[in-house]
Structure 1
Amino acid sequence: MMMTLIVIAVVSGALLLGAVWGIYGSLSEKTEGFLVALAGGALIVSAVLELINPAMEKSSIGIALSIVFAGALVFTGLDYLVKQKWGSNSGGGLLAAITLDGIPENLALGVALIGADPLSIAALSGSIFLSNLPEAAGGAKEMTENGASKKKVLTLWGATALILSLAAFLGNLLLADVSDSLLAYIRCFAGGAVVASLSIEVFPKAYKEDSYWAGIATAIGLILAFYLNSLG
């Protein structure tokens, strides 16, 4: 249980740490774009290897792919609504992305921690940490630049970290005995949300701020995530 709590704290704490970095740290647009692309590369691996592919092996392919599509559809709709309220240039889209795909992802993380060996835990938590940190930094910075108070932004990202921590903890406690197919569907929904967030939020933002270096950063993030995954 202690290892579970430590991993949950590290993974979700990346959101709060990233928000503090984005608000108070010195973060140029190019650096921000590079880091967001880096996170995007890691998320590609996370979506395919940790969410969608394992689910395809344990459930009906047709149903699994339909739920992937549903995850993308729900994220896209919520992202649109968020931008209608906060504006297309706010960090609200990234906040919505992290929350929507993070809840089922952290539920699955909680289950994965049950009986997992240390290397597997390091691979999974490292990939999520790598994606959460720069996204939170970029999103928090944009929210403050668009008029939100620093206190409000920190509160929002802190609340998000708390929600995702709770999701992982509940996954560890309550989903240990659920069927593999149900857990697979949770992961498929998360994978679909990740795919939509990459295309709508992550890569367009990275290219806008860091131009062609975003392609290099994406490859680095992908390589790092593949390496972490290979450790397990």
Structure 2
Amino acid sequence: MMTIAVVLAVSGALIAGAAWGIYGTLPEGLEGFIVALAGGALIFSVVLELVEPAVRDLHLLLVALVVLTGAMVFAGLDRLVKAKARNSGGAGLLVAITLDGVPENLALGVALIGAGPLHVAALSGSIFLSNLPEAAGGAKEMSEGGRSNGKVFALWGATAVLLSVAALAGNFLLAGAPAALLAAIKCFAGGAVVSSLATEVFPQAFAKDSYQAGIATALGLVLAVSLDHLA
């Protein structure tokens, strides 16, 4: 039950963000602050929940190679998407979130195996915060680009369902998988998330909130550390 609740909360951020982007307004600086806050929390979560535990089940060199592979795959696919959807009005961001979100949510499902609710609170909370403003920005661009609000909302809703399925698959289908395989999945997802932070999250935050984004990033890191110590 806890797994389903966490998955729905994280993927539901895409639906809430899409509604916010289509129908709501938020000062650009505050939006950038939230994005940077989420990025700071994700830095800690990637290391603590995804990469560091993998060292117990995989050789350090293999951990490094899988993390780098995840980063390179995301960076390559993200670049390809941007080239193909340069004037897509937010569609490129939708695809980028999907590329990043599938391994990210698969790893979230894996991280939930045998864990209590507070153990993964930092990871799920930071993914939620990063999904929310990204979905808002993408949905807003798509809506302003001429697509109907209903179609835009449906696209983001379908993406939320896809990411929910990935997380549930990671939790239920991989529950009995070898520890080395689970560690590799986490490392690959960690590399993809780090790559997305460098190419999507932090540039967006700086563009909207300038140098305050640095403070927000540090605050997100501190909040993630504090949340983890509640577990």
TM-score normalised over the length of structure 2: 0.90
**2:164 pairs with 1:152:** no
SS of corresponding position for 1:231: coil
CA distance, structure 1, for counterparts of residue 88 and residue 226 of structure 2: 33
Matched residues in 1 for 2:133 and 2:29: separation? 12
Q: Is the 8 A contact 2:8 2:164 kept in 1?
A: yes
Letter in 2 for 1:9: L
Matched position secondary structure for 2:176: coil
Partner of 1:220: 219
Q: Aligned in 2, Cα 1:94/1:55: closer, same or farther, shift over 3 Å?
A: farther
The count of aligned residue pairs is 231
What secondary structure does 2:30 align onto? helix
CA contact (8 A) 2:10 2:124 kept: yes
Question: Relative to 1, partners in 2 of residues 1:80 and 1:39: Cα closer, same or farther, differing over 3 Å?
Answer: same
Indicate conservation of the 8 Å contact 2:85/2:91, yes or no: yes
Q: Which position in structure 2 is the counterpart of 1:196?
A: 195
Q: Deviations over 1:41-78 (max 9, x none)?
A: 11211221111111123202112111111111111111
Partners of 2:44 and 2:96 lie apart in 1 by 17
Structure 2: give runs of 5+ residues left out of the alignment.
none
Contact 1:113 1:121 in 2 (8 A): yes
Q: Is the 8 A contact 1:124 1:229 kept in 2?
A: no
Contact 1:32–1:209 (Cα < 8 Å) also in 2: yes
Deviations 1:152-206 (A, max 9, x none): 3222221111011111111221101111111111111111111111111111111
Distance 1:103 1:9, change over 3 A: same
1:177 matched to which residue of 2? 176
RMSD, matched Cα: 2.0
Q: Does 2:87 align with 1:82?
A: no
Partner of residue 59, structure 1: 58
State the distance in 1 between where 2:148 and 2:73 align.
28
Mapped contact 1:123–1:231 kept (Cα < 8 A): no
CA contact (8 A) 2:58 2:183 kept: yes
Deviating more after overlay: 63-72 vs 127-136: 127-136
Moved more, 130-139 or 69-78: 130-139
> C-alpha distance in 2, partners of 1:36/1:72?
20
- CA–CA distance in 2 between the matches of 1:15 and 1:27? 16
Q: Tell whether the 8 Å contact from 2:36 to 2:202 is kept in structure 1 after alignment.
A: yes
After the TM superposition, which of the residue ranges 23-32 and 108-117 deviates more from structure 2? 108-117
> Tell me, what secondary structure is at the counterpart of 1:78?
helix
Counterpart residue type for residue 213 of structure 1: Q
Q: Is the 8 A contact 1:100 1:190 kept in 2?
A: no
Q: Partner of 2:114 in structure 1? A: 115
TM normalised by structure 1 equals 0.90
Indicate yes or no: 2:199 matched with 1:209: no
CA distance in 2, matches of 1:172, 1:201: 27
Report the more deviating stretch, 207-216 or 128-137: 128-137
More helix by share: 1
Match for 1:140: what amino acid? A
